[in-house]
């Protein structure tokens, strides 16, 4: 019976050693994972303790018993500090585990181990003489007496174990649901050998030499290993999760059902300038923030002491229990201060753009740029330098009050080509420079210089050296480009006004000389006609035909003068006055009647749709007559023939004038409407250039195509196509008629 108890306890201790060694090997394999290093060292010590305890129970040699007892004491006194190290790592307090703290934890165990091993030399602990054999309940085991130092070691171990339990219980109560089960398993596993040790000291079991604590280590190793590996938190441990939340740069708060803060990370305490947030309502900490929960709006928080503005984008997650009942909310406050300020700056610049566009002078644009740089970009000082070609210098056209106070008027003119401002203007690139060496008394040693193309330069000054970041340069560049666009517009408008004035003066001159010419020409023609009529009484009938010719040319020139006047009036008139609604069918019939009377050997056919109207004016008859006359004049066919047709195509009206003449080369088709083509190459009168000009004024187009008629087996002839715009009312009404009902 006694021997069976001995072998049972010793065997259980050996099993505990084997389990501890296996857990240590497994921890070594996963040593790169969180917690595994601390867990592995704890298992190594537990395995050594269990093996030494089992061996001590089974040996009868006093010297061997004493040596094994020393190993047990070294292992047992190291187990509690290693357990605390494991708990600290597991609960996410690795930042506490500095070399100094770990050294302090092992000061006493190291001292106790040293006293135990050197006991034969000083007598402060039981030495070899303390080994005795005790027989009880049929079991005989060698026992080593404990000294006063051993009791102190026991008290130290219990204190350390209690601290570890306190940390585990606190972590267990605060853990989220997914981590709580593992935390409970870890707490139970570490608690088991401590309970066994306490019970062994309180109650007298089978034998004082049979210590069940080492045997209970097998249970602890199994429970800890199962808890760590069963829930696969080697990759995502509670420690890592808590550290992640605590190290987040954005504030995180946990609210209960009454919107009171249950927990928060360090960023939340820093953001709101208060260390103790727990227990207070979220509206007490950040007034009005609840209105932004779930509304996708930005919350603005102002620090009470500094009035510093911070912008938060609240992201809320509902916390539900296992019954899907809401128990609280997790609020992550994303700090969007940088984004919001950039957005505010861009919106302010967009709003100011209208002022830039409507500015009427360079000085006003410079003032707007300085105001924007100083107030919206939050800069200490700003100035806009514009280049003056006459003086070859940069002049501060506008400057902030700070610069005006710091520098007199003459100091705000940069003529020195070696000056950093002038150098940046010539270089054309953004420059950040320190001018404290050049001007030790300057209140703005750091300058951000942004060229405004060839117009000048935007200067931004700062009281501190190196105060300009990438964002400052980006917004200063945007401001400089906006200023450049505004200045370019002012310059274009100035040139446009000058051009408009020059054109108006030229038109007045042309109109004056045109009026004088036409007035003189008409008077001269009237005189010629009057003289010709007077001479009729003095010439015979045979010579009277010469007077008829003179009168006919005078009439033609008078009509030509009126046509030129009408053309000039059309060119100078606005579009609304240029165009009228013209009945195209009537115009075509009148033109063709004249053509058939002038060209008696030619045939002309007309096909026109009913109710065709186009946008044109009285000169449209001259336009069509020029094309028809050109087709008949240059027609070398034995029987000249022209076909004229007019029909609608979508919102246009197309007039096609086809002849059976010699046709045109591709080059002639491209150049026939140009100004340099003489009227002799087209027809009498204005020529086809006149047709092109008038069709352009009508908003239409004209071109030449090949005809498909045949002469002597070859294709010949040409088709002149004139495309007019329809009046809007007619086009709209016809579109409505064609719509399906």
Bigger pLDDT: 227 vs 280:
280
- DSSP 8-state assignment for residue 543: G
Half-sphere exposure of 693 (CA within 13 A, CB side): 16
Average per-residue pLDDT for the chain? 78
Q: Label residue 176 by pLDDT band (50, 70, 90).
A: low
pLDDT given at position 205: 59
Integer angstrom CA distances of residue 300 from 252, 288, 658: 16, 9, 77
CATH level 3 topology of 2-240: Rhopdopsin 7-helix transmembrane proteins (1.20.1070)
For residue 587, pLDDT beyond 50: yes
pLDDT given at position 432: 86
- Using DSSP's 3-state secondary structure scheme, residue 173 falls into helix
Q: What is the pLDDT of residues 296-325, one digit of tens each?
A: 888 888 877 666 788 888 888 887 754 567
Instruction: Write down the domain spans for the chain.
Output: 2-240, 248-335, 575-738
Q: What is the pTM of this model?
A: 0.40
648 CB contacts (<8 Å, ≥6 apart)? 609, 612, 654, 726, 734
What is the average pLDDT across 235-255? Answer: 63
> How many residues does the structure list for the chain?
741
What is the average pLDDT across 78-94? Answer: 81
Integer angstrom CA distances of residue 279 from 262, 266, 271, 273, 329: 6, 16, 17, 16, 14
Secondary structure in 3-state letters for 467-499: CCCHHHHHHHHHHHHHHHHHHHHHHHHHHHHHH
Q: What's the helix, strand, coil split of the chain in %, to 5?
A: 55, 20, 25
Q: Label residue 125 by pLDDT band (50, 70, 90).
A: low
CATH number of 575-738: 3.30.565.10
71 CB contacts (<8 Å, ≥6 apart)? 48, 52
What is the average pLDDT across 607-624? Answer: 90
Least-confidence region, from 14-18, 56-60, 512-516: 512-516
pLDDT given at position 240: 44
561-598 burial by CB neighbour count: b if 16+ within 10 A, else e? bebeeebbebeeeeeeebbeebebbebbeebbeebeee
For residue 729, pLDDT beyond 70: no
Least-confidence region, from 36-40, 134-138, 287-291, 723-727: 134-138
Bigger pLDDT: 280 vs 515:
280
For residue 241, pLDDT beyond 60: no
pLDDT given at position 647: 94
476 CB contacts (<8 Å, ≥6 apart)? 373, 377, 430, 448, 450, 458, 460
For residue 233, pLDDT beyond 50: no
For residue 733, pLDDT beyond 60: no
Q: Label residue 236 by pLDDT band (50, 70, 90).
A: very low
pLDDT given at position 615: 92
* CATH of 248-335 among 3.30.450.20, 3.60.15.10, 3.40.50.970, 1.10.730.10: 3.30.450.20
Closest-CA residue to 524 (of 513, 516, 512): 516
Least-confidence region, from 71-85, 195-209, 417-431: 195-209
Q: 142: buried, middle or exposed (CB in 10 Å: 19+, 13-18, 0-12)? A: buried
Q: Label residue 239 by pLDDT band (50, 70, 90).
A: very low
What is the average pLDDT across 74-91? Answer: 82
Q: Label residue 730 by pLDDT band (50, 70, 90).
A: low
For residue 645, pLDDT beyond 90: yes
pLDDT given at position 370: 87
């Amino acid at each position: 019976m006694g021997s069976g108890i001995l072998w049972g306890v010793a065997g259980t201790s050996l099993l505990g050693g084997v389990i501890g060694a296996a857990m240590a090997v497994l921890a070594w394999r996963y040593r790169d994972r969180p917690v595994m290093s601390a867990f592995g060292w704890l298992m190594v010590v537990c395995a050594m303790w269990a093996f030494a305890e089992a061996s001590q129970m089974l040996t009868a040699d006093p010297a061997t018993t004493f040596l094994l007892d020393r190993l047990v004491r070294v292992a047992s006194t190291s187990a509690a500090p290693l357990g605390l190290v494991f708990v600290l790592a597991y609960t996410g307090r690795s930042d506490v585990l500095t070399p100094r703290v770990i050294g302090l934890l092992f000061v006493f165990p190291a001292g106790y181990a040293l006293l135990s091993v050197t006991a034969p030399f000083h007598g402060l602990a039981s030495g070899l003489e303390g080994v005795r054999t005790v027989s009880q309940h049929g079991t005989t085991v060698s026992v080593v007496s404990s000294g006063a130092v051993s009791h102190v070691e026991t008290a130290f171990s219990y204190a350390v174990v209690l601290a570890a339990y306190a940390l585990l219980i606190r972590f267990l109560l605060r853990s989220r649901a997914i981590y709580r089960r593992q935390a409970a398993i870890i707490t139970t596993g570490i608690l088991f050998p401590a309970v066994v040790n306490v019970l062994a000291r309180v109650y007298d079991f089978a034998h004082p030499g049979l210590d069940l604590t080492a045997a209970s280590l097998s249970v602890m190793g199994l429970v800890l290993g199962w808890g760590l590996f069963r829930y696969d938190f080697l990759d995502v441990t509670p420690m890592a999760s808590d550290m992640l939340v605590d190290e987040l740069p954005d504030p995180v708060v946990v609210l209960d059902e009454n919107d009171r803060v249950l927990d928060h990370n360090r960023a939340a305490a820093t953001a709101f300038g208060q260390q103790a947030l727990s227990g207070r309502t979220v509206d007490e900490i950040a007034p009005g923030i609840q209105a932004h929960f779930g509304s996708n709006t930005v919350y603005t928080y102002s620090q009470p002491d500094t009035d510093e503005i911070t912008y938060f984008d609240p992201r809320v997650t509902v916390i539900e229990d296992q019954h899907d009942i809401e128990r609280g909310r997790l609020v992550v406050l994303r700090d969007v201060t940088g984004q919001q300020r950039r957005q505010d700056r861009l919106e302010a610049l967009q709003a100011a753009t209208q002022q830039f566009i409507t500015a009427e002078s360079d000085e006003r644009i410079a003032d707007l740029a300085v105001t924007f740089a100083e107030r919206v970009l939050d800069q200490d000082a700003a100035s806009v330098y514009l280049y003056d070609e006459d003086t070859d210098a940069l002049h501060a056209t506008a400057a902030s009050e700070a610069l005006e106070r710091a520098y007199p008027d003459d100091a705000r003119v940069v003529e020195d080509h070696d000056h950093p401002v002038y150098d940046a203007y010539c270089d054309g690139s953004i420059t950040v420079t320190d001018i404290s060496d050049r001007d030790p008394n300057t209140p703005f040693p750091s300058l951000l210089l942004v060229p405004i193309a060839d117009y000048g330069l935007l200067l931004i000054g700062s009281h501190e050296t190196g105060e300009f970041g990438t964002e400052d340069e980006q917004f200063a560049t945007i401001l400089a480009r906006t200023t450049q666009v505004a200045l370019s517009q002012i310059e274009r408008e100035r040139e446009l006004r000058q051009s408009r004035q020059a054109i108006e003066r030229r038109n007045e001159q042309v109109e004056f000389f045109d009026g004088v010419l036409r007035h003189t020409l008409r008077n001269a023609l009237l005189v010629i006609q009057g003289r010709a009529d007077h001479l009729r009484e003095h010439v015979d009938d045979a010579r009277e035909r010469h007077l008829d010719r003179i009168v006919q040319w005078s009439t033609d020139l008078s009509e030509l003068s009126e046509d030129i006047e009408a053309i000039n009036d059309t060119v100078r008139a606005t579009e609304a006055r240029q165009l009228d609604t013209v009945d195209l069918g009537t115009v075509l019939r009148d033109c063709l009647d004249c053509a058939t009377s002038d060209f008696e050997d030619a045939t002309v056919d007309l096909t026109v749709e009913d109710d065709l109207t186009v946008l044109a004016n009285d000169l449209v008859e001259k336009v069509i007559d020029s094309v028809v006359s050109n087709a008949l004049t240059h027609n070398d066919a034995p029987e000249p023939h022209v076909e004229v047709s007019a029909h609608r195509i979508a919102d246009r009206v197309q007039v096609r004038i086809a002849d059976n003449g010699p046709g045109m080369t591709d080059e002639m088709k491209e150049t026939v409407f140009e100004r340099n083509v003489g009227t002799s190459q087209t027809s009498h009168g204005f020529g086809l250039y006149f047709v092109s000009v008038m069709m352009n004024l009508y908003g239409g187009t004209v071109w030449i195509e090949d005809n498909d008629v045949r002469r002597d087996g070859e294709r010949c002839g040409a088709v002149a196509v004139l495309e007019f715009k329809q009046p809007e009312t007619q086009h709209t009404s016809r579109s409505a008629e064609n719509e399906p009902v």
